[in-house]
Structure 1
């Protein structure tokens, strides 16, 4: 369960299931207020590749998070879906450094003008990207190719600020491939 930041109202799974979701297509720009997508640059040469994942100076020019207090990576086997979870106070920043992943975000902030919006992204080593996710936005991912590795850069090391919901509780068909 997550409390809405502005109203201190707890969103139960029953309440989440009542939301009329507005699902974006994968290639649309982020629709959820506060979500930021950055295409990362990769430099190639005869020795290999270099991709910057995050840099504090970016915060002066772009809406990436300045403060990073906790970083982890997660390996997900092909076809496996992990989530749903949400942070009440913490920003997440995702990047997939190996494999290919579908990232799905749901705005649960009742006070947000994009409440109920669903954003989708496909990121990975062939599409290196950074996705900034604000507190109150539910998130999950699926590995689309092999063992995929996602890195999460969080603004807080508070492990208590992590609320989970069953993966099969909402949007079950979102994980099925679709033709665009």
Structure 2
């Protein structure tokens, strides 16, 4: 079961002999209640950037380069999916955008042997004097997520 309020948009690549084109986010997707900011970040192989959540903003994540294991944990006590975890594998090998609602903790681990780039939109701009960032350790016992690769 997907966490309440989380949306996924699979991206369609239009390929030809020149390369490809894909629409990532459109105003008629109805995924953001408001546009606040567009940001860009890169993380090295094996890096875990987790966890945090927001009280006032939603995020939309997109990994155009590299691959990541994205982990969501529903921290909203009034949610029907409270304490539920979702895992998504996103990146150049599985292009999608992921809507992460306020109150849902999120983080990622870079997979493979090359860096991963994330481009993300938020419904509010970052305010350094009053940051909407609630930090949780990557190995938080309450969330209890095992980041190790399961060799099978």
Question: TM-score, structure 1 length as denominator?
Answer: 0.76
SS of the residue 2:146 aligns to = helix
The two structures, once aligned, show a CA RMSD in angstroms of 1.7
Give distance in 1, aligned partners of 2:50 and 2:145.
Answer: 15
Deviations 1:36-67 (A, max 9, x none): 111011111111121211010222xxxx1142
Equivalent residue number for residue 76 of structure 2: 109
Q: Deviations over 1:133-172 (max 9, x none)?
A: 1000000101002100111110000331111122222456
For the structure 1 residues 46 and 66, does the alpha-carbon distance in structure 2 shift closer, same or farther, using more than 3 Å as the test? farther
> Structure 1 stretch 82-91 or stretch 165-174: which is displaced more?
165-174
Offset of residue 173 of structure 1: 5.1
Tell me which stretches of 4 or more aligned residues in structure 1 moved more than 6 Å: none
Q: Which residue of 1 aligns with 2:24?
A: 53
The runs of 5 or more residues in structure 2 that have no matched partner are none
CA separation in 2, counterparts of 1:56 and 1:122?
A: 25
Matching of residue 167 in structure 1 with residue 138 in structure 2: yes
Query: Which structure has greater helix proportion?
Result: 1
Question: Deviation string for 1:69-110 (max 9, x for gaps)?
Answer: 111111111111002110001000011100100000000000
